[in-house]
Structure 1
């Protein structure tokens, strides 16, 4: 039986944004990005990508 894993990412620096983009592009099968947390404003391009999903 296959189950999906929902995750949240804390910190959207270079590593967090890399992982988020990999998940959103489907490169990590079985994983759904549920939430992100960041204390600084996100770059506009990343914010648009996250909003689209």
Structure 2
């Protein structure tokens, strides 16, 4: 992988493209977990906690 990037004269655009991709899989885990409770308790749990 590094050999291919070395061919490029600018290794700057390489890191920014890899970082967002690596975060995608990690965020996928916590995203669904937090997404479930969010829509599940927005009727009474959301307003109750928000007001307090």
Question: Under a length normalisation based on structure 2, what TM-score does the superposition of the two structures give?
Answer: 0.28
Bigger helix share: 2
Larger RCO, structures 1/2 (Cα 8 Å, 6+ apart): 1
Which has the larger strand fraction? 1
**Computing the radius of gyration over CA atoms, which structure comes out larger, 1 or 2?**
2
TM-score normalized by the length of structure 1: 0.27
